[in-house]
Every structure is written in C-alpha cells, then in structure tokens.
Amino acid sequence: MNQAIRNTWMAVMLMFLLALGALSYVQFFAAGDLNDNALNRRPLYKEFDLPRGAILADGKPIAESVPTTEGQFDYQRVYNDPELYAHLTGFYSLTFGSRQLESAMNKELTGQSDDQWLDRIKNLFSGQATQGASVETTIDPRLQKVAYDLIPNGVQGTIIVSEPKTGNILAMVSKPSYDTNLMAVQSSKRANENMNKLLDVPGLNINVNPAVGHLIPPGSTFKIFDIVAGLESGKYNADTVMKNPARIKLPGSTATLGNFYGGNCAAKTEATLAWIVANSCNTPFVSMSQDLGAEAFRKVTTNFGFGQQLNIPVKVTPSVFPAELTGSQLAQSVIGQFDVKVTPLQMNMAAMGIANGGVIMEPNLVKQVMAPDLRVLSTTKPKVLGTATSPEIAAQVTDLMRGPVQYGTARSAAIPGLDIAAKTGTSQIGNTDLVNSWITGFAPADDPQVAVTIVMEKIDFKTGSSLTSPNLKKILEAVFNQ
C-alpha cells in the first residue's frame, strides 16, 4: 500500500469514527436535552398525533384529547369549563407549547413516565400507539365553582382552599381567566391571533398561575409571622400590654408610619397584644421589630417556606423577605410592605401551618395517575414540608387569630356556631388609593378541616373589604353546609 492510499484510508476511518461518536452522543447523551429544547418542534408534532391522557377533577375530564378529522393531527385537545380551570390546567398548544399541569405532568400525559415503561415495551411488540395516563387532581369541582363565582368579573383576584392535614388543594381559582381552547387550536395562524387578543386582557398573563406565580405585598396578613416571632422570643404573650400610638417615627428616618385609617386602633393608646392583633394595629409591631431585630423575622419566614422552591407539581415562585434591611425598612417589612412579596399560596401555607400545630404539609394538586386501563400508577401521599413552629406556639397564634373574627377586622366572616381563626391584611399600592385586600384563615379553629386564602388586587379599600371577609364566610358555609 503506497502512502497516498494509506493516508486516504486513515482519513476515511477517522471520519467514520467521528460520525459514529457524534451519533452515539446524540442518541445516548443529548437526546433528553434535544427533546426538551423549546426550539425542537418534532417531539411536539409526534405527541399531537397520540391520544394524550386526560386531566380530571372528581373523575370528570377538565382536559382531554378527542379524535378529530379536522386539521393535520388525529386528536384535538379540548378543555371543559375552560375559564374555571384555566390557571390550573394551563394549555397544550402546537404553537406555544404547554403550561401549568399540562407541562408539569407532560411525561405522564404522553405515556413517557417511568411508571409506564412496561406499557411502552408491550406497545412496541404489539404495534399499538402509546396512550397517555390520566392525572386526577385534588380539586373539588363544587368548591372550585363556588370560589370562582365569588370573584366578580373585572376584578383581579385569587382564592385558595386547602386541607391543612394533607396539603391537598381543594380549590385554586384566579380572575381574570381565559378560554384555554383558544391556545389548543391546530392552526398556528389562529393561535397567534387568539394570543394577541388575550394579551390585551388587563391583568391576565396566561403564562402564570397567579396563585403560585404572582408575588404581592401581604399587608397585615404578614403579622401572623410577627406573632410567631414575638411568642417564640418569650418576651410577648396575648396579655402583653404594648404602646399603640397613632403614628410612630421610623428608626433612622424622619418619616413616620401610622395605623391604618379605616380601623379601630385609634380607640386605645395602649392595648394587649390580643386586642392589637384583632384590630390589626401597625405601630406596636414597629416597636416589636426594633426589639427583636431582623433575624427573628427572617428565621420565622424561612421556617414557613419563604425562599423555598416548591413543585406542587407546577412550579411555585419563592416568596421574598429582604436579605438586608435598615431599621426603617424592617419596620415597614413587618407590616407586609417595603420589599416583602408573597404568593397567595405562601399565605395559605401560613394558615395551614398554624392550623396543623406548626407542621406545614406539602401543598399538592395531584391525587393520582392512572393508566388507560384504569390501573393506578401512582398515588400522592401527604408529605411533611417542614416544622414552622411548635404546637404550643401554633395554639397561641390560633387563639390570637380568633380575635379578628370575634371582635376585630374580620367580623363579617363570623358564622354562628363555627370556630374561625383568620387574619386580614391591606397592602397599599404606592401613592394610589388602591390596595391589595387579603384574608387568610382556617376552620374549625380547634380541629381545622380547611384553610382559605383570598386576595383581591388593585382595588379600593371598601370594595376589597367586601370581597375578603364576607367571601371567607361564604366559602366556609359551602364547606360545612354541604
């Protein structure tokens, strides 16, 4: 063999080895990343030609794939009562991909989960198409509808109802909502036209479930954490008498902070912690913040889940307690203002944790996953997320949270014969007349069955108040009068 032939042979072999190596890398190492790449549409096209599993609420499909003869694919994704469940299911779109449960449970819905590997092997030999599994949610359709109807059209709001002892979410609704079928169309042109219409809806972001992805100042519902910090310090109890001036100077500043103008705090210049909590006075908590220091509040908020990335299974945006605070900023933070930001789910977790004796159960939206032949592939069991405080402290906080309902800011939530614990909140929005109006609580206080959180955003104080405590009452009536 002369040198020229030898060189050519070596070059061919080298190119063959390079091609073999590249093919092996793509097949065995990069396949997952390539399939997950948002720019790679081939897996999505392949999935659209398969029967995707249903998303269920109490056994009834709220999202399902039905055979169709229209369009280029054999199946069409259909959403039932789409506005009622839009922020939970999200959508499954050829043009825009998937969101919320459609995205978080995609492997199960397409039959690609680890629990379905045996079914895939059987289908490989039988020639049958892979069918997706169905996902049964924890949602109670009746409570979901009650909660949804309590948010007036045109109002931006969220309501969550959960079980403190299991973490299961029974209702999770937000408005404005939208018709998810508009995103599921097979025509990209129509999908883009529909997307442009939805982008014009004030307050709507179809990429975000407001209950788990929207951060809002919590206002005085944050005082639940203040109470825990105060009680844990051993310096405060329900009978501790505190000064309650109408206004107080912020530390290191010439600015002052006052009690909310709409409450009863002006009635007493000194009061017990129990009375202060019931009427949600601000100035005593400013004094408490300077007494305890930022670390005490940071520790409590961390124990209740701030900064923690959760998947329920949809991703939850971590709530924020600022890392560095001056005395003035801390004073504003402990009344739920400054840069303190929470999701509605975070404040529901606060209520769940107190209701459950200080133990927070992991919030959960999925009850079980079922194969097409109705075999149960997996069941979600209650899991402890963490211990936020001791049972003794939780019991004292519960007692203090009875005050707002019995003689304070949440009186309109009261139901004769039902023991309710709750805390209201109002976070002001800049220098506007608009507020975020909150309430979070649970019932019965001595044996909690449900925790309820309501927030109405960017609303005037009077309207907001009419949609929080009274609606907490209506939800609890729906729960306990069923």
Q: Quote the CA–CA distance of 249 and 247 in Å, as a whole number.
A: 7
Q: What do you get for the CA distance between the two ends of the chain, in Å?
A: 92
Q: Quote the CA–CA distance of 468 and 425 in Å, as a whole number.
A: 10
Q: Quote the CA–CA distance of 304 and 294 in Å, as a whole number.
A: 16
Alpha-carbon torsion, ordered 262, 263, 266, 268, to 10 deg: 180
Tell me, yes or no, if 188 is annotated catalytic. no
DSSP 3-state of 305: coil
Residue with tokens 């209201």: 424
Where do runs of H (alpha helix) occur along 127-222? 141-149, 188-199, 210-213
Residue with tokens 């005490």: 296
Q: Which of 65, 98, 174, 220 is catalytic?
A: 220
DSSP 3-state of 137: strand
Please, which residues have CB within 8 angstroms of residue 472's CB and are 6 or more apart in sequence? 410, 413, 420, 422, 439, 441, 452, 454
Please, which residues have CB within 8 angstroms of residue 420's CB and are 6 or more apart in sequence? 402, 405, 410, 413, 414, 441, 442, 443, 444, 445, 472, 476
C-alpha closest to that of 441 among 477, 465, 408, 405: 405
Query: CB of 458 within 8 A of CB of 436?
Result: yes
Q: Quote the CA–CA distance of 480 and 324 in Å, as a whole number.
A: 44
**What positions carry a catalytic annotation?**
220
